[in-house]
Structure 1
Amino acid sequence: MKHEAKGSSPPAAVSVLFNVTNGEPCVLMIKRAETLRNHSGQWAFPGGMIEESDDSAMHAALRETNEELGIRPSDIDIWCEMPPVDTSTGFKVWPYAGRLTDEVNITPHVAEVADVVNVPVRVFVDQVSRRSITVIRNGTTRKLDAYAYEDRIIWGASARIINNTIDIVMNPA
């Protein structure tokens, strides 16, 4: 499958990684470092731009996950490619859903990752956690879906990716 994005921004790929933490199904998320050019300080999935040296978008997602968190590709069981999501900054992002093996060492690369959290899946299924936020960008006001978890707000492309993932997991064809 060819992974191309419109415009000048290259395509990107992310890993939507499920795991079990304290007996509860969770999704691993990162807070992007404040110093990054795009989506700084936002809660996201590990991943990044697809480079010419990548064999595939999945390879890019695994490579970036390793670079950002030190998680080896052999510690990830990819289940499937999810539908791509467009970001407000022009990226087209291909998410890959999968599961982390039970014994994974996570070592965040501090230049890219400010924090790591395992968000319980119930947060994304429970309507109590859903929010609507207003974002103003380039003079345009938009209402976006979001999720609240503790003191974190997960919104934008990350919220759309998790919506798609949960919908597919909860309503398989």
Structure 2
Amino acid sequence: MASWLPLVQPFTNRTLRELRLALQKSFPIHVPANYTHRQHAAVVIPFCNVNDVPGILLEVRGKTLRHHSGEVSFPGGRVDETDQTIVDAAIREAEEELGIVARQIEILGPIGPAEMNLRGDMRVWPFVAFLHKDGSLRQYLDSEPLPSLDLTNLQQKTSQQEVDQIFHLTLSVIATPSRMQSRKFRDGMPYWAIDVEDLVTNSQDTTAIVGPVVDEVGAGGNGRLEVWGLTGWYLNILMRALGVYSQ
């Protein structure tokens, strides 16, 4: 299946509308309204423009965190008792980690199925979104590029405890074969991990990672920083649905 998604042209309102329709068609998923908050988590897969180039915003998690420190991940975390819905948790976590406001986060739809974490005690719900530069209500023409994020400014707003740094993974890089490392997800399903070692400034020292990695947010293997594990798996099922990766 050929991708209809432009890999180098910036996101527009038309692109976002087409993304919504594609997600609804590929992922007719029911997100529960009634849930036990301790058994669920939510992440945002945040599309965005940077320098008029389309891509996805990713985090390198804070190096002092107890779990998955120094790994690549999407913004997100556990649903708590203040969240009215699971998608509210995804938005709240993105606000807290990235230092943005809810008006900047346009949820386009869920993907899935939602997977359990490795401990088997929490289901992780992924939501695709677009991050707007600001929360203004200015209207843009269908074909007009949506404003780009300023990564330098955004980096200054991120939670210093939770986020070591942020980076923009362009769609063209995601689709670059030389970046792809063959991996298998849990039950043996194949997927592509994406090597991002050279895209992350002062990336973590991963030289100790030489064998199988227990954590699976995005540590990678063979001493490289990768979009890997659950983060990589969700990225893959999304790219397959959009025709960027072959089925």
What is the TM-score when the length of structure 2 is the normalising length? Answer: 0.59
Match of 1:148 in 2: 195
Deviation at 1:36, TM superposition (A): 1.4
Q: Return 5+ residue gaps in structure 1 as ranges.
A: 135-142
Q: CA RMSD for the aligned pairs?
A: 2.6
Match of 2:132 in 1: 101
% of aligned pairs identical? Answer: 29
Q: Does residue 122 of the first structure (1) align with residue 172 of the second (2)?
A: yes
Deviation at 1:35, TM superposition (A): 1.6
Q: Any conservation in 1 of the 2:191–2:236 contact (CA below 8 Å)?
A: no
The separation in 2 between residues aligned to 1:167 and 1:22, in whole angstroms, is 25
Q: How does 1:131-142 map to 2 (within 5 A)?
A: 131-132=181-182
CA offsets per residue over residues 38-78 of structure 1, 9 Å max, x none?
22211000010011221111100000011111111100111
Deviation at 1:125, TM superposition (A): 2.0
- Could you tell me which of 74, 77, 80 is aligned with 1:48? 77
Match of 1:86 in 2: 116
3-state DSSP of counterpart to 2:100: coil
The separation in 2 between residues aligned to 1:168 and 1:133, in whole angstroms, is 19
Q: Does residue 16 of the first structure (1) align with residue 63 of the second (2)?
A: no
Deviation at 1:25, TM superposition (A): 0.8
Match of 2:212 in 1: none
Match of 1:65 in 2: 94
Deviation at 1:4, TM superposition (A): 5.7
The separation in 1 between residues aligned to 2:56 and 2:43, in whole angstroms, is 13
* Aligned residue-pair number: 162
